[in-house]
Structure 1
Amino acid sequence: MHELTTVTDSAAAQLQQVRDLVALLDDAQYVRRPPGASSVAGHVRHCVDHYAALLAGAERGTVDYDRRERGGALETDRTLALARLDVVRSRVRALAPGVLDRPVEVSGIVDARGTVARSRSTVGRELLFVAHHAVHHLALMMPVVRTLGVSVPADLGYAPATMAFLRQRDGGTPA
């Protein structure tokens, strides 16, 4: 298997984990915002926005993670979020290995004044980034979901590297 195809598979798997988590919730739980935390809906929208920015940038040659829709229907409509996660996952899985090697320029705001920095990258490198970014947000969603009384699989919300370490160390999964 081509190494970059593994990046595609990993990103699709992370999106599936986010989708699986959203599917465990009801509509009220999806939008509930516990004190001092973001809602699951906010994290999901943020992850989808990053994937959408990358997918658009793969076609344009420029990725801008800061140009995204904040708020909106993904933060209020769980059914729409599930459908959008399916679409994004499908689009990620459809990326050809050659596309992953394509160079892109990544731009981002780096301070409160709005200063923009630019860097060269590839679609595959950025896909690796958004997959890791989604893992981070999935981990942030876990305490929120647990405060809602939802039972989740023990290994949900852990980075692949953490799971590999735990399996190597003791053959187990998180408690």
Structure 2
Amino acid sequence: MNDPTATVTERSAEQLLRLEELVGILTDAQYVHRPRDASGIAPHVRHCVDHYSAILAGADSGTVDYDRRTRGGVLERDRGAALARLANVRTRVSTMPPRALGYPVEVLTVVGADGAVARTRSTVGRELLFVSHHAVHHLAMIAPIARSLGVPVPPDFGYAPATLAAGAGPAPA
């Protein structure tokens, strides 16, 4: 049987690598392209990086705050900066010691337009699972944008692992 703690970090690192590879084949113009009335690829990449960064910071501090993000910013304008940050975050996730996954964290989340914050207890491992699962949603939105720009995207890119495991993913090529 596989070690579930290693699987969490390995699969998260694989997901980040796939995103990094896709960003790597984009041109700078494709990366920052914003479709009419929609978000482009860059904001989705930044959002994923921000969430992974939040859990990495939480593993060190004991507090995870997913809402403390830099919207806009260099990751949405500079593909090279995004690639460097993806590589850094991927390395940090892949080298996270298994014992760190059990560390307790307090998760802060803005739950109201008035800025009300909810606090809950969790663990680094549970939050890493959440971040990986949440990122699938953003990869699923990136895939059609990239395809519309003529970028070859693997057919399973953006599908949840449970969907692929159930055989309900893309039709075989």
2:144 equivalent in structure 1: 143
CA offset digits 1:13-53 (Å, max 9, x no partner): 11111112111210000000001221111000010011111
2:171 equivalent in structure 1: 174
CA distance in 2, matches of 1:158, 1:40: 16
Pick closer, same or farther for the CA change 1:106–1:137 going to 2, 3 Å: same
CA distance in 2, matches of 1:174, 1:98: 39
**For the Cα contact (< 8 Å) 1:53–1:64, is it kept in 2?**
yes
Please identify runs of 4+ aligned residues in structure 1 that moved more than 3 A: 172-175
Determine if the alignment matches structure 1 residue 33 to structure 2 residue 34. Answer: yes
Determine if the alignment matches structure 1 residue 20 to structure 2 residue 21. Answer: yes
**For the Cα contact (< 8 Å) 1:155–1:174, is it kept in 2?**
no
CA distance in 2, matches of 1:83, 1:174: 33
Letter in 1 for 2:66: Y
Alignment RMSD: 1.3
CA distance in 2, matches of 1:135, 1:20: 15
CA offset digits 1:126-164 (Å, max 9, x no partner): 000111111110001111112112121111111111111
Letter in 1 for 2:171: P
CA distance in 1, matches of 2:67, 2:153: 31
- Report SS of the residue matched to 1:71: coil
CA distance in 2, matches of 1:47, 1:174: 26
* Sequence identity percentage: 61
CA offset digits 1:65-88 (Å, max 9, x no partner): 001111111101111111110000
CA distance in 2, matches of 1:98, 1:2: 12
- Report SS of the residue matched to 1:67: coil
1:116 equivalent in structure 2: 117
CA distance in 2, matches of 1:29, 1:173: 24
- Report SS of the residue matched to 2:31: helix
CA distance in 1, matches of 2:63, 2:129: 16
TM-score (norm: length of structure 1): 0.93
Letter in 2 for 1:174: A
CA distance in 2, matches of 1:61, 1:174: 42
1:89 equivalent in structure 2: 90
1:73 equivalent in structure 2: 74
5+ unaligned residues in a row in structure 1: which ranges?
Answer: none
1:153 equivalent in structure 2: 154
- Report SS of the residue matched to 2:96: coil
Deviation at 1:173, TM superposition (A): 4.6
Q: What is the number of residues matched between the two proteins?
A: 171
CA distance in 2, matches of 1:117, 1:89: 28
TM-score (norm: length of structure 2): 0.94
